[in-house]
DNA sequence: GAAGGGCAGATTGTCATACCAGTTGACAAT
DNA sequence: ATTGTCAACTGGTATGACAATCTGCCCTTC
Protein backbone atom coordinates (compact mmCIF):
# COMPACT_ATOMS: atom_id res chain seq x y z
CA UNK A 1 0.00 0.00 0.00
CA UNK A 2 1.40 3.35 -1.05
CA UNK A 3 1.18 6.37 1.15
CA UNK A 4 0.82 9.95 -0.14
CA UNK A 5 4.13 11.76 -0.25
CA UNK A 6 4.57 14.40 2.37
CA UNK A 7 5.32 17.70 0.71
CA UNK A 8 6.85 20.46 2.74
CA UNK A 9 7.38 23.96 1.47
CA UNK A 10 10.38 26.05 2.43
CA UNK A 11 8.14 28.23 4.57
CA UNK A 12 6.88 25.18 6.45
CA UNK A 13 10.41 23.96 7.05
CA UNK A 14 11.51 27.33 8.42
CA UNK A 15 8.40 27.60 10.59
CA UNK A 16 8.79 24.15 12.09
CA UNK A 17 12.48 24.56 12.70
CA UNK A 18 12.03 27.84 14.55
CA UNK A 19 8.95 26.59 16.39
CA UNK A 20 10.76 23.48 17.60
CA UNK A 21 13.73 25.51 18.76
CA UNK A 22 11.43 27.83 20.67
CA UNK A 23 9.39 25.16 22.44
CA UNK A 24 12.50 23.15 23.20
CA UNK A 25 14.17 26.18 24.75
CA UNK A 26 17.11 26.33 22.35
CA UNK A 27 15.85 29.80 21.60
CA UNK A 28 15.28 30.97 25.14
CA UNK A 29 12.28 33.20 25.99
CA UNK A 30 13.13 36.87 26.00
CA UNK A 31 16.18 36.47 23.83
CA UNK A 32 16.45 38.29 20.55
CA UNK A 33 15.71 36.46 17.35
CA UNK A 34 18.31 36.77 14.58
CA UNK A 35 17.50 39.44 12.03
CA UNK A 36 15.48 38.35 9.02
CA UNK A 37 18.40 38.74 6.66
CA UNK A 38 20.63 36.78 9.01
CA UNK A 39 18.06 33.99 9.11
CA UNK A 40 17.85 33.96 5.30
CA UNK A 41 21.59 33.64 5.08
CA UNK A 42 21.82 30.95 7.76
CA UNK A 43 18.92 28.91 6.38
CA UNK A 44 19.83 29.45 2.76
CA UNK A 45 16.36 30.62 1.77
CA UNK A 46 14.66 33.73 0.56
CA UNK A 47 13.64 36.53 2.87
CA UNK A 48 9.99 36.22 1.85
CA UNK A 49 9.91 32.64 3.05
CA UNK A 50 11.41 33.66 6.38
CA UNK A 51 8.89 36.47 6.73
CA UNK A 52 5.96 34.15 6.05
CA UNK A 53 7.25 31.75 8.68
CA UNK A 54 7.70 34.60 11.15
CA UNK A 55 4.11 35.72 10.49
CA UNK A 56 2.85 32.29 11.45
CA UNK A 57 5.01 32.27 14.57
CA UNK A 58 3.61 35.68 15.41
CA UNK A 59 0.06 34.47 14.88
CA UNK A 60 0.80 31.61 17.27
CA UNK A 61 2.21 34.15 19.75
CA UNK A 62 5.59 32.44 19.83
CA UNK A 63 7.53 35.51 18.75
CA UNK A 64 7.07 39.25 18.91
CA UNK A 65 8.07 41.25 15.84
CA UNK A 66 8.46 45.01 15.87
CA UNK A 67 9.05 47.29 12.94
CA UNK A 68 12.56 48.69 13.23
CA UNK A 69 13.56 46.75 16.32
CA UNK A 70 14.75 43.23 16.91
CA UNK A 71 12.25 40.39 17.20
CA UNK A 72 11.88 38.63 20.51
CA UNK A 73 11.24 35.04 21.44
CA UNK A 74 8.19 34.80 23.69
CA UNK A 75 7.60 32.28 26.45
CA UNK A 76 5.07 29.97 24.86
CA UNK A 77 3.91 28.78 28.27
CA UNK A 78 2.78 32.33 29.01
CA UNK A 79 1.49 33.48 25.67
CA UNK A 80 0.71 30.67 23.24
CA UNK A 81 -2.88 29.51 22.85
CA UNK A 82 -4.56 26.13 22.78
CA UNK A 83 -3.96 25.81 19.05
CA UNK A 84 -0.32 25.12 19.79
CA UNK A 85 -1.19 21.82 21.43
CA UNK A 86 -1.74 20.07 18.10
CA UNK A 87 1.78 21.02 17.05
CA UNK A 88 3.36 20.02 20.34
CA UNK A 89 1.97 16.50 20.49
CA UNK A 90 4.32 15.29 17.79
CA UNK A 91 7.92 15.70 18.91
CA UNK A 92 10.57 16.75 16.38
CA UNK A 93 11.61 13.10 16.20
CA UNK A 94 8.13 12.10 15.08
CA UNK A 95 6.97 10.29 18.21
CA UNK A 96 3.91 11.18 20.29
CA UNK A 97 4.45 13.09 23.51
CA UNK A 98 2.82 11.15 26.34
CA UNK A 99 2.43 14.17 28.59
CA UNK A 100 0.44 15.95 25.88
CA UNK A 101 -1.82 12.93 25.50
CA UNK A 102 -2.47 13.00 29.22
CA UNK A 103 -3.12 16.74 29.00
CA UNK A 104 -5.79 16.54 26.32
CA UNK A 105 -7.53 13.64 28.02
CA UNK A 106 -7.71 15.59 31.25
CA UNK A 107 -8.95 18.73 29.54
CA UNK A 108 -11.57 16.63 27.83
CA UNK A 109 -12.69 15.34 31.20
CA UNK A 110 -13.03 18.90 32.45
CA UNK A 111 -15.08 20.09 29.50
CA UNK A 112 -17.30 17.11 28.74
CA UNK A 113 -19.66 17.35 31.73
CA UNK A 114 -20.17 21.05 31.25
CA UNK A 115 -20.80 20.63 27.53
CA UNK A 116 -23.46 18.05 28.27
CA UNK A 117 -25.00 20.27 30.93
CA UNK A 118 -25.27 23.27 28.64
CA UNK A 119 -26.54 21.10 25.81
CA UNK A 120 -29.33 19.81 28.04
CA UNK A 121 -30.18 23.33 29.12
CA UNK A 122 -30.26 24.83 25.66
CA UNK A 123 -30.65 22.04 23.11
CA UNK A 124 -33.91 21.67 21.24
CA UNK A 125 -35.62 18.64 19.70
CA UNK A 126 -33.55 18.93 16.53
CA UNK A 127 -30.36 18.63 18.55
CA UNK A 128 -31.69 15.54 20.32
CA UNK A 129 -32.66 14.05 16.96
CA UNK A 130 -29.15 14.61 15.63
CA UNK A 131 -27.68 12.91 18.69
CA UNK A 132 -30.03 9.97 18.35
CA UNK A 133 -29.07 9.61 14.69
CA UNK A 134 -25.44 9.25 15.69
CA UNK A 135 -26.19 6.71 18.42
CA UNK A 136 -28.23 4.69 15.92
CA UNK A 137 -25.22 4.52 13.61
CA UNK A 138 -23.10 3.52 16.58
CA UNK A 139 -25.38 0.60 17.36
CA UNK A 140 -25.10 -0.53 13.74
CA UNK A 141 -21.29 -0.55 13.88
CA UNK A 142 -20.81 -2.48 17.10
CA UNK A 143 -17.27 -3.83 17.38
CA UNK A 144 -15.88 -1.72 14.55
CA UNK A 145 -13.65 0.41 16.76
CA UNK A 146 -12.30 2.89 14.17
CA UNK A 147 -15.84 3.61 12.99
CA UNK A 148 -17.08 3.93 16.55
CA UNK A 149 -14.26 6.30 17.35
CA UNK A 150 -15.24 8.48 14.44
CA UNK A 151 -18.88 8.38 15.50
CA UNK A 152 -17.96 9.33 19.05
CA UNK A 153 -16.24 12.40 17.69
CA UNK A 154 -19.38 13.24 15.74
CA UNK A 155 -21.51 12.72 18.82
CA UNK A 156 -19.44 15.21 20.80
CA UNK A 157 -19.50 17.61 17.89
CA UNK A 158 -23.29 17.54 17.88
CA UNK A 159 -23.38 17.92 21.64
CA UNK A 160 -21.09 20.95 21.46
CA UNK A 161 -23.35 22.44 18.83
CA UNK A 162 -26.33 21.96 21.11
CA UNK A 163 -24.48 23.69 23.94
CA UNK A 164 -24.59 26.87 21.84
CA UNK A 165 -21.35 28.36 23.08
CA UNK A 166 -18.69 29.49 20.64
CA UNK A 167 -15.88 29.16 23.17
CA UNK A 168 -16.75 25.51 23.79
CA UNK A 169 -16.95 24.95 20.06
CA UNK A 170 -13.52 26.44 19.35
CA UNK A 171 -11.93 24.70 22.31
CA UNK A 172 -13.43 21.45 21.05
CA UNK A 173 -11.92 22.11 17.62
CA UNK A 174 -8.48 22.69 19.09
CA UNK A 175 -8.81 19.57 21.17
CA UNK A 176 -9.96 17.47 18.24
CA UNK A 177 -7.11 18.75 16.06
CA UNK A 178 -4.71 17.45 18.70
CA UNK A 179 -6.64 14.24 19.21
CA UNK A 180 -6.65 13.50 15.47
CA UNK A 181 -2.89 13.21 15.51
CA UNK A 182 -2.88 10.34 17.97
CA UNK A 183 -6.25 8.81 17.14
CA UNK A 184 -4.88 5.48 15.97
CA UNK A 185 -2.89 5.08 19.15
CA UNK A 186 -6.00 5.51 21.28
CA UNK A 187 -8.43 3.38 19.29
CA UNK A 188 -7.80 0.24 21.31
CA UNK A 189 -7.24 2.07 24.57
CA UNK A 190 -10.61 3.80 24.38
CA UNK A 191 -12.47 0.66 23.32
CA UNK A 192 -14.24 0.43 26.65
CA UNK A 193 -15.51 4.00 26.31
CA UNK A 194 -16.58 4.10 22.68
CA UNK A 195 -18.01 0.59 22.23
CA UNK A 196 -21.10 1.15 24.34
CA UNK A 197 -23.90 2.96 22.48
CA UNK A 198 -26.20 2.76 25.48
CA UNK A 199 -24.18 5.33 27.38
CA UNK A 200 -24.33 7.77 24.49
CA UNK A 201 -28.05 7.08 24.10
CA UNK A 202 -28.56 7.92 27.76
CA UNK A 203 -26.85 11.29 27.31
CA UNK A 204 -29.00 12.00 24.26
CA UNK A 205 -32.09 11.12 26.27
CA UNK A 206 -31.05 13.47 29.06
CA UNK A 207 -30.63 16.25 26.51
CA UNK A 208 -34.09 15.55 25.10
CA UNK A 209 -35.51 15.56 28.60
CA UNK A 210 -33.64 18.77 29.47
CA UNK A 211 -32.17 17.05 32.48
CA UNK A 212 -28.95 19.02 32.82
CA UNK A 213 -27.58 17.36 35.94
CA UNK A 214 -28.12 13.84 34.60
CA UNK A 215 -26.52 14.75 31.30
CA UNK A 216 -23.50 16.17 33.08
CA UNK A 217 -23.17 13.14 35.33
CA UNK A 218 -23.46 10.67 32.47
CA UNK A 219 -20.93 12.57 30.39
CA UNK A 220 -18.51 12.67 33.30
CA UNK A 221 -18.84 8.94 33.87
CA UNK A 222 -18.33 8.27 30.17
CA UNK A 223 -15.13 10.23 29.70
CA UNK A 224 -13.75 9.10 33.05
CA UNK A 225 -13.78 5.55 31.74
CA UNK A 226 -11.58 6.70 28.88
CA UNK A 227 -9.37 8.78 31.15
CA UNK A 228 -8.70 5.82 33.42
CA UNK A 229 -7.90 3.59 30.44
CA UNK A 230 -5.53 6.14 28.90
CA UNK A 231 -3.70 6.74 32.16
CA UNK A 232 -3.32 3.02 32.66
CA UNK A 233 -1.88 2.68 29.17
CA UNK A 234 0.44 5.65 29.67
CA UNK A 235 1.70 4.22 32.95
CA UNK A 236 2.76 1.09 31.09
CA UNK A 237 4.41 2.99 28.27
CA UNK A 238 6.12 5.83 30.11
CA UNK A 239 8.69 3.75 32.00
CA UNK A 240 9.94 2.40 28.68
CA UNK A 241 10.18 5.92 27.35
CA UNK A 242 12.08 6.98 30.46
CA UNK A 243 14.75 4.35 30.11
CA UNK A 244 15.14 5.19 26.42
CA UNK A 245 16.67 8.48 27.41
CA UNK B 1 -5.58 62.36 27.88
CA UNK B 2 -3.95 61.11 24.71
CA UNK B 3 -4.25 57.53 23.61
CA UNK B 4 -1.53 55.63 21.74
CA UNK B 5 -2.12 55.69 18.01
CA UNK B 6 -3.11 52.36 16.60
CA UNK B 7 -0.63 51.38 13.95
CA UNK B 8 -1.70 48.83 11.44
CA UNK B 9 0.53 47.37 8.80
CA UNK B 10 -0.70 46.54 5.31
CA UNK B 11 -0.49 42.85 6.15
CA UNK B 12 -2.63 43.39 9.25
CA UNK B 13 -5.23 45.29 7.26
CA UNK B 14 -5.48 42.56 4.64
CA UNK B 15 -5.63 39.86 7.31
CA UNK B 16 -8.36 41.57 9.29
CA UNK B 17 -10.42 42.37 6.24
CA UNK B 18 -10.37 38.79 4.99
CA UNK B 19 -10.88 37.39 8.50
CA UNK B 20 -13.91 39.58 9.10
CA UNK B 21 -15.43 38.63 5.77
CA UNK B 22 -14.92 34.96 6.56
CA UNK B 23 -16.41 35.01 10.05
CA UNK B 24 -19.28 37.22 8.90
CA UNK B 25 -20.08 34.82 6.10
CA UNK B 26 -19.53 37.27 3.25
CA UNK B 27 -16.96 34.77 2.08
CA UNK B 28 -19.01 31.62 2.47
CA UNK B 29 -17.41 28.39 3.69
CA UNK B 30 -16.36 26.10 0.86
CA UNK B 31 -16.23 28.86 -1.69
CA UNK B 32 -13.03 29.61 -3.55
CA UNK B 33 -10.87 32.50 -2.44
CA UNK B 34 -9.80 34.93 -5.17
CA UNK B 35 -6.36 34.20 -6.57
CA UNK B 36 -3.46 35.97 -4.89
CA UNK B 37 -2.81 38.14 -7.91
CA UNK B 38 -6.47 39.11 -8.06
CA UNK B 39 -6.44 40.02 -4.38
CA UNK B 40 -3.35 42.21 -4.86
CA UNK B 41 -5.08 44.04 -7.65
CA UNK B 42 -8.35 44.46 -5.78
CA UNK B 43 -6.72 45.56 -2.52
CA UNK B 44 -4.08 47.69 -4.18
CA UNK B 45 -1.19 46.09 -2.29
CA UNK B 46 1.81 43.95 -3.03
CA UNK B 47 1.53 40.22 -3.44
CA UNK B 48 3.93 39.57 -0.59
CA UNK B 49 1.66 41.34 1.84
CA UNK B 50 -1.30 39.30 0.64
CA UNK B 51 0.68 36.11 1.03
CA UNK B 52 1.70 36.97 4.58
CA UNK B 53 -1.94 37.61 5.46
CA UNK B 54 -2.97 34.33 3.85
CA UNK B 55 -0.32 32.51 5.89
CA UNK B 56 -1.84 33.86 9.08
CA UNK B 57 -5.34 32.89 7.95
CA UNK B 58 -3.98 29.44 7.18
CA UNK B 59 -2.38 29.22 10.62
CA UNK B 60 -5.75 30.12 12.15
CA UNK B 61 -7.36 27.42 10.00
CA UNK B 62 -9.68 29.90 8.33
CA UNK B 63 -8.52 29.11 4.79
CA UNK B 64 -6.97 26.16 3.01
CA UNK B 65 -4.22 26.88 0.48
CA UNK B 66 -2.99 24.38 -2.09
CA UNK B 67 -0.06 24.81 -4.41
CA UNK B 68 -1.38 24.97 -7.95
CA UNK B 69 -5.04 24.91 -7.04
CA UNK B 70 -7.41 27.54 -5.73
CA UNK B 71 -7.57 28.41 -2.06
CA UNK B 72 -10.73 27.60 -0.15
CA UNK B 73 -12.60 29.34 2.63
CA UNK B 74 -13.03 26.99 5.59
CA UNK B 75 -15.94 26.93 8.02
CA UNK B 76 -14.41 28.52 11.11
CA UNK B 77 -17.01 26.91 13.35
CA UNK B 78 -15.68 23.50 12.27
CA UNK B 79 -11.98 24.14 12.01
CA UNK B 80 -10.81 27.25 13.86
CA UNK B 81 -9.27 26.89 17.30
CA UNK B 82 -9.72 28.68 20.60
CA UNK B 83 -7.19 31.34 19.63
CA UNK B 84 -9.77 32.82 17.29
CA UNK B 85 -11.95 33.86 20.21
CA UNK B 86 -9.74 36.84 21.07
CA UNK B 87 -10.20 38.14 17.54
CA UNK B 88 -13.93 37.54 17.48
CA UNK B 89 -14.77 39.41 20.67
CA UNK B 90 -14.23 42.77 19.01
CA UNK B 91 -16.66 43.21 16.14
CA UNK B 92 -15.48 44.99 12.98
CA UNK B 93 -17.29 48.08 14.26
CA UNK B 94 -15.15 48.11 17.39
CA UNK B 95 -17.78 47.11 19.94
CA UNK B 96 -17.61 44.08 22.22
CA UNK B 97 -19.67 41.03 21.26
CA UNK B 98 -21.89 40.12 24.22
CA UNK B 99 -22.30 36.50 23.18
CA UNK B 100 -18.52 36.05 23.20
CA UNK B 101 -18.32 37.56 26.69
CA UNK B 102 -20.93 35.07 27.85
CA UNK B 103 -18.99 32.29 26.13
CA UNK B 104 -15.67 32.98 27.85
CA UNK B 105 -17.32 33.36 31.25
CA UNK B 106 -19.03 30.01 30.84
CA UNK B 107 -15.86 28.30 29.66
CA UNK B 108 -14.08 29.78 32.64
CA UNK B 109 -16.70 28.30 34.92
CA UNK B 110 -16.15 24.90 33.33
CA UNK B 111 -12.38 24.97 33.70
CA UNK B 112 -11.89 26.69 37.06
CA UNK B 113 -13.04 23.86 39.35
CA UNK B 114 -10.97 21.30 37.50
CA UNK B 115 -7.91 23.52 37.53
CA UNK B 116 -8.24 23.91 41.29
CA UNK B 117 -8.73 20.17 41.71
CA UNK B 118 -5.63 19.25 39.74
CA UNK B 119 -3.63 21.97 41.48
CA UNK B 120 -4.56 20.52 44.86
CA UNK B 121 -3.64 17.04 43.66
CA UNK B 122 -0.28 17.96 42.20
CA UNK B 123 0.82 21.27 43.67
CA UNK B 124 3.70 21.38 46.12
CA UNK B 125 4.53 23.79 48.94
CA UNK B 126 6.18 26.23 46.54
CA UNK B 127 2.93 26.50 44.58
CA UNK B 128 0.97 27.15 47.76
CA UNK B 129 3.51 29.79 48.77
CA UNK B 130 3.11 31.54 45.43
CA UNK B 131 -0.67 31.54 45.83
CA UNK B 132 -0.42 32.94 49.35
CA UNK B 133 1.87 35.67 48.10
CA UNK B 134 -0.80 36.77 45.64
CA UNK B 135 -3.57 36.70 48.24
CA UNK B 136 -1.40 38.79 50.55
CA UNK B 137 -1.08 41.42 47.85
CA UNK B 138 -4.83 41.23 47.32
CA UNK B 139 -5.47 41.97 50.97
CA UNK B 140 -3.19 45.00 50.73
CA UNK B 141 -5.12 46.40 47.76
CA UNK B 142 -8.65 46.08 49.11
CA UNK B 143 -11.08 48.22 47.16
CA UNK B 144 -8.69 48.92 44.27
CA UNK B 145 -10.66 47.00 41.70
CA UNK B 146 -8.30 47.26 38.69
CA UNK B 147 -5.41 46.07 40.84
CA UNK B 148 -7.51 43.27 42.32
CA UNK B 149 -8.56 42.20 38.85
CA UNK B 150 -4.93 41.98 37.80
CA UNK B 151 -4.08 40.03 40.94
CA UNK B 152 -6.95 37.64 40.34
CA UNK B 153 -5.52 36.90 36.91
CA UNK B 154 -2.15 36.24 38.54
CA UNK B 155 -3.78 33.97 41.10
CA UNK B 156 -5.35 31.85 38.41
CA UNK B 157 -2.10 31.81 36.48
CA UNK B 158 -0.31 30.40 39.52
CA UNK B 159 -3.09 27.91 40.05
CA UNK B 160 -2.86 26.73 36.45
CA UNK B 161 0.88 26.32 36.86
CA UNK B 162 0.30 24.19 39.93
CA UNK B 163 -2.14 22.00 37.98
CA UNK B 164 0.81 20.93 35.82
CA UNK B 165 -1.13 20.39 32.62
CA UNK B 166 -0.03 22.04 29.41
CA UNK B 167 -3.48 21.90 27.85
CA UNK B 168 -4.98 23.80 30.78
CA UNK B 169 -2.16 26.29 30.57
CA UNK B 170 -2.65 26.98 26.87
CA UNK B 171 -6.43 27.11 27.17
CA UNK B 172 -6.00 29.56 30.03
CA UNK B 173 -3.75 31.71 27.83
CA UNK B 174 -6.32 31.77 25.04
CA UNK B 175 -9.02 32.66 27.50
CA UNK B 176 -6.98 35.41 29.10
CA UNK B 177 -6.10 36.87 25.70
CA UNK B 178 -9.83 37.19 25.05
CA UNK B 179 -10.57 38.43 28.56
CA UNK B 180 -7.91 41.14 28.32
CA UNK B 181 -9.83 42.78 25.50
CA UNK B 182 -12.88 43.38 27.64
CA UNK B 183 -11.24 43.66 31.04
CA UNK B 184 -12.25 47.24 31.69
CA UNK B 185 -15.87 46.44 30.93
CA UNK B 186 -15.90 43.69 33.55
CA UNK B 187 -14.00 45.44 36.32
CA UNK B 188 -17.11 46.73 38.04
CA UNK B 189 -19.24 43.73 37.14
CA UNK B 190 -16.80 41.31 38.75
CA UNK B 191 -16.31 43.45 41.86
CA UNK B 192 -18.19 40.96 44.01
CA UNK B 193 -15.92 38.14 42.85
CA UNK B 194 -12.51 39.77 42.96
CA UNK B 195 -12.85 41.99 46.06
CA UNK B 196 -12.83 39.17 48.58
CA UNK B 197 -9.33 37.88 49.36
CA UNK B 198 -10.66 35.36 51.86
CA UNK B 199 -12.12 33.22 49.13
CA UNK B 200 -8.83 33.11 47.28
CA UNK B 201 -7.02 32.38 50.54
CA UNK B 202 -9.35 29.45 51.14
CA UNK B 203 -8.48 27.97 47.75
CA UNK B 204 -4.78 28.41 48.44
CA UNK B 205 -5.25 26.67 51.77
CA UNK B 206 -7.02 23.77 50.10
CA UNK B 207 -4.12 23.44 47.66
CA UNK B 208 -1.65 23.42 50.52
CA UNK B 209 -3.74 20.81 52.32
CA UNK B 210 -4.04 18.74 49.15
CA UNK B 211 -7.80 18.77 49.54
CA UNK B 212 -8.83 18.42 45.90
CA UNK B 213 -12.59 18.33 46.39
CA UNK B 214 -12.65 21.40 48.61
CA UNK B 215 -10.43 23.29 46.20
CA UNK B 216 -12.74 22.40 43.32
CA UNK B 217 -15.84 23.38 45.26
CA UNK B 218 -14.41 26.71 46.39
CA UNK B 219 -13.24 27.54 42.88
CA UNK B 220 -16.65 26.72 41.47
CA UNK B 221 -18.39 28.90 44.02
CA UNK B 222 -15.98 31.74 43.32
CA UNK B 223 -16.36 31.85 39.55
CA UNK B 224 -20.10 31.25 39.75
CA UNK B 225 -20.43 34.53 41.60
CA UNK B 226 -18.79 36.24 38.66
CA UNK B 227 -20.81 34.29 36.12
CA UNK B 228 -24.06 35.33 37.76
CA UNK B 229 -22.96 38.97 37.87
CA UNK B 230 -21.88 38.96 34.23
CA UNK B 231 -25.09 37.35 33.03
CA UNK B 232 -27.11 39.85 35.01
CA UNK B 233 -25.18 42.69 33.42
CA UNK B 234 -25.53 41.19 29.94
CA UNK B 235 -29.27 40.80 30.40
CA UNK B 236 -29.51 44.51 31.05
CA UNK B 237 -27.31 45.46 28.13
CA UNK B 238 -28.48 43.08 25.44
CA UNK B 239 -31.96 44.54 24.97
CA UNK B 240 -30.39 47.93 24.35
CA UNK B 241 -28.04 46.38 21.83
CA UNK B 242 -30.99 44.69 20.15
CA UNK B 243 -32.92 47.90 19.59
CA UNK B 244 -29.77 49.57 18.27
CA UNK B 245 -29.99 47.34 15.22
C1' DG C 1 28.30 67.76 33.84
C1' DA C 2 23.45 66.88 32.60
C1' DA C 3 19.71 67.23 29.27
C1' DG C 4 18.19 67.28 25.00
C1' DG C 5 18.40 67.20 19.77
C1' DG C 6 19.88 64.99 15.89
C1' DC C 7 22.37 62.09 13.05
C1' DA C 8 23.90 57.30 11.56
C1' DG C 9 23.23 52.57 11.44
C1' DA C 10 20.62 48.86 12.39
C1' DT C 11 16.15 46.59 11.73
C1' DT C 12 11.54 45.39 9.80
C1' DG C 13 7.87 46.81 6.24
C1' DT C 14 6.52 47.30 1.46
C1' DC C 15 7.07 47.06 -3.20
C1' DA C 16 7.99 45.52 -8.26
C1' DT C 17 9.46 41.94 -11.15
C1' DA C 18 10.83 37.62 -12.63
C1' DC C 19 10.86 32.88 -12.71
C1' DC C 20 9.94 28.06 -10.63
C1' DA C 21 6.53 24.49 -9.43
C1' DG C 22 2.17 22.22 -9.05
C1' DT C 23 -2.79 21.64 -10.83
C1' DT C 24 -6.28 21.47 -14.10
C1' DG C 25 -8.64 20.69 -18.25
C1' DA C 26 -8.81 20.64 -23.14
C1' DC C 27 -7.31 18.09 -26.94
C1' DA C 28 -4.82 15.14 -29.92
C1' DA C 29 -2.72 10.55 -30.43
C1' DT C 30 -3.05 5.88 -29.58
C1' DA D 1 -12.26 4.58 -24.39
C1' DT D 2 -7.62 5.33 -22.77
C1' DT D 3 -3.51 7.70 -22.65
C1' DG D 4 -0.14 11.27 -23.35
C1' DT D 5 0.77 16.13 -24.27
C1' DC D 6 0.47 20.78 -23.71
C1' DA D 7 -1.18 25.34 -22.49
C1' DA D 8 -3.15 28.31 -19.04
C1' DC D 9 -4.14 28.86 -14.83
C1' DT D 10 -2.76 28.50 -9.66
C1' DG D 11 0.56 29.18 -5.61
C1' DG D 12 5.90 29.09 -4.29
C1' DT D 13 10.46 31.14 -4.39
C1' DA D 14 13.96 34.45 -5.56
C1' DT D 15 16.14 39.10 -6.10
C1' DG D 16 16.75 43.83 -5.37
C1' DA D 17 15.38 48.20 -4.16
C1' DC D 18 13.37 51.67 -1.19
C1' DA D 19 10.52 53.38 2.84
C1' DA D 20 9.39 53.41 7.77
C1' DT D 21 10.84 52.65 12.27
C1' DC D 22 13.71 51.93 16.28
C1' DT D 23 18.22 52.23 18.81
C1' DG D 24 22.40 54.06 20.35
C1' DC D 25 25.91 57.32 20.02
C1' DC D 26 27.65 61.91 19.38
C1' DC D 27 27.22 66.56 19.88
C1' DT D 28 25.23 70.76 21.00
C1' DT D 29 23.28 73.43 24.57
C1' DC D 30 22.30 75.02 29.00
User: Can you spell out the DSSP letters for A109-173?
Assistant: HHHHHHHHHHHHHH--HHHHHHHHHHHHHHHHTTT-HHHHHHHHHHHHHHHHHHHT-HHHHHHHH
pTM for the structure as a whole: 0.93
pLDDT at residue A245, rounded to an integer: 41
Q: pLDDT, tens digit, for every residue of B94-106?
A: 899 999 999 999 9
Of A231, A237, A210, A34, the C-alpha closest to A119 is: A210
The answer to whether residues A169 and A181 touch, using CB atoms and an 8 Å cutoff, is: no
pLDDT at residue A133, rounded to an integer: 97
- A173 and B88 within 8 Å at the Cβ level: the answer is no
What is the Cα–Cα distance from B120 to B65, expressed in whole angstroms? 45
Q: pLDDT, tens digit, for every residue of A138-159?
A: 999 978 999 999 999 999 999 9
Give nearest nucleotide to B66 (CA–C1'). D11
Q: pLDDT, tens digit, for every residue of B146-204?
A: 999 999 999 999 999 999 999 999 999 999 999 999 999 999 999 999 999 999 999 99
pLDDT at residue B244, rounded to an integer: 46
A48 touches strand C (CB under 7 A): yes
Helices of type H across chain A: 10-24, 36-43, 47-59, 76-79, 85-88, 98-122, 125-140, 145-163, 166-180, 183-187, 191-194, 197-208, 212-244
Mean pLDDT of B15-26: 96
Of B85, B71, B82, the C-alpha closest to B171 is: B82
Q: Taking a contact as any Cβ pair under 8 Å apart, which residues of chain B between 62 and 121 contact chain A?
A: 67, 77-86, 88, 99-100, 102-104, 106-107, 109-111, 114-115, 118
Q: What rounded mean pLDDT belongs to chain B?
A: 94
Share of chain A above pLDDT 90, in %: 89
Mean pLDDT of B131-147: 93
Mean pLDDT of A216-221: 97
Q: pLDDT, tens digit, for every residue of A33-91?
A: 999 999 999 999 999 999 999 999 999 999 999 999 999 999 999 999 999 999 999 99
pLDDT at residue A160, rounded to an integer: 98
What is the Cα–Cα distance from A115 to A118, expressed in whole angstroms? 5
Of A170, A19, A102, A1, the C-alpha closest to B85 is: A170
Q: pLDDT, tens digit, for every residue of A193-212?
A: 999 999 999 999 999 999 99
Checking if the pLDDT of B238 tops 90, the result is no
Strand D-proximal residues, CB under 7 Å?
A 9-11, 45-49, 52, 66-69; B 7, 33, 35-38, 47-48, 51, 54, 65-71
Checking if the pLDDT of B55 tops 50, the result is yes
pLDDT at residue B58, rounded to an integer: 97
Amino acid sequence: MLKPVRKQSVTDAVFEQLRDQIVSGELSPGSALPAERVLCEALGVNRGSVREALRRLQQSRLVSVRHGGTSQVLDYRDSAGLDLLAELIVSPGGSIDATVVRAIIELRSALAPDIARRAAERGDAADADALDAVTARMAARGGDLPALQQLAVEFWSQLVDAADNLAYRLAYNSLRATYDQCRELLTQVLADEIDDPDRYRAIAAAVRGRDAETAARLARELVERGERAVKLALAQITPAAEEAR
